[in-house]
């Protein structure tokens, strides 16, 4: 495992546990964070032995979002021509977006385990994960409105697929804080846990369960669900038919059916 400045990465058998590791800064997102998260998820994507990823925060919080010194740094690079400044800013924003796209694109399911603060950019981040679980007392807020900007690294783009449009608008316009239970009832997280410890235990157990499934089937399932966020039903049916045209030739299907018949646990290659 490489050495990371903003993260701690542990591999537990076939599950990678990725921790944001700047607890003294409430895991805020500095330049190291933005660069390393891309590297880590590209690595998880390309490494056959990793079959699921858990993402959490070290210390008392998941993350307080963007480190404001990063914004200040960008501001200091701007010149006097608003046109050229716009080109620079656009490129910068797209760079940040790419970091979270790497999370979404990772072929292995990514489970976020959220406790404490999950603010601003942290909402953008968990929206790019597959599954979200939190403690009952986790604190969520679409904070960007309070620093005078529209969220631009994924919250406004991905959240409409996760929670109802009506509630999302309230949260995005007001920036109000909501806790784990409300997050669960609106569908942002799938389940809440009493505390950080039981949260991590529960999410890691779920990750191991998913990692034991056929990697070919998990890969296809994730790909299809990603695809359907943006495509028509007829396109989706055609795409899965084309995808499964090769995947149904995999030995995993035979192994799974044989195990199913003999009531035994199937073992799949990476």
Q: Between residue 138 and residue 177, which ones bind a second copy under the rule CB under 8 A?
A: 144-152, 154, 156-158, 160-170, 172-175
Q: CB-wise, 94 or 194, nearer to a second copy? A: 94
Structure tokens at 10: 């542990």
Considering only 6-14, 24-32, 53-61, 219-227, which stretch makes contact with a second copy by CB under 8 A? 219-227
Site for a second copy in 181-200 (CB under 8 A): 187-190
b/e 125-159 (16+ beta carbons within 10 angstroms → b): bbbbbbbbbbbeebbbbbbbbeeeeebbbbbbbbb
Structure tokens at 134: 């939190």
Per-residue mark of binding to a second copy, 238-257 (x: CB under 8 A): xxxxxxxxxxxxxxxxxxxx
Site for a second copy in 33-72 (CB under 8 A): 68, 71
Smallest distance, Å, CB 37 to a second copy?
A: 16
Does position 179 interact with a second copy (CB under 8 A)? The reply is no
Does position 131 interact with a second copy (CB under 8 A)? The reply is yes
Neighbours of 206 (CB within 10 A): 20
Residue with tokens 């030739």: 249
Burial class (CB in 10 A: 0-12, 13-18, 19+), 107: middle
Structure tokens at 29: 């997102």
For a second copy, how many residues bind (rule: CB under 8 A)?
A: 101
Q: CB-wise, 10 or 87, nearer to a second copy? A: 87
Smallest distance, Å, CB 3 to a second copy?
A: 26
Dist. CA 19–CA 63, nearest whole Å: 10
Of 84, 194, 195, 201, the residue at the interface with a second copy (CB under 8 A) is: 84
């Amino acid at each position: 495992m490489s050495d990371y400045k903003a993260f701690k990465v542990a591999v537990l058998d076939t599950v990678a546990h990725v921790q944001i590791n700047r607890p003294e800064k409430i895991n805020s997102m500095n330049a190291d964070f933005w660069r390393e998260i891309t590297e880590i998820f590209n690595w998880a994507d390309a490494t056959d032995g990793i079959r699921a990823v858990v993402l959490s925060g070290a210390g008392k919080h998941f993350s307080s979002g963007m480190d404001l010194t990063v914004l200040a740094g960008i501001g200091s690079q701007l010149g006097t021509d608003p046109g050229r400044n716009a080109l620079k800013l656009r490129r910068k924003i797209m760079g940040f977006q790419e970091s979270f796209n790497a999370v979404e694109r990772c072929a292995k399911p990514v489970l976020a385990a959220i406790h404490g603060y999950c603010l601003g950019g942290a909402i953008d981040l968990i929206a790019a994960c597959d599954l979200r679980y939190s403690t009952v007392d986790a604190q969520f807020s679409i904070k960007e409105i309070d620093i005078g900007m529209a969220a631009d690294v994924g919250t406004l783009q991905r959240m409409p697929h996760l929670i109802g449009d009506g509630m999302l608008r309230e949260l995005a316009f007001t920036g109000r804080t909501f806790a784990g239970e409300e997050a669960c009832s609106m569908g942002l997280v799938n389940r809440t846990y009493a505390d950080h410890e039981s949260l991590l235990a529960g999410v890691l157990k779920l990750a191991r369960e998913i990692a034991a499934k056929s990697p070919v089937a998990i890969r296809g399932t994730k790909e299809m669900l990603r695809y359907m966020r943006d495509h028509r039903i007829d396109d989706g049916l055609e795409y899965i038919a084309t995808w499964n045209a090769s995947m149904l030739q995999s030995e995993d299907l035979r192994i799974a059916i044989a195990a199913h018949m003999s009531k035994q646990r199937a073992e799949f290659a990476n």
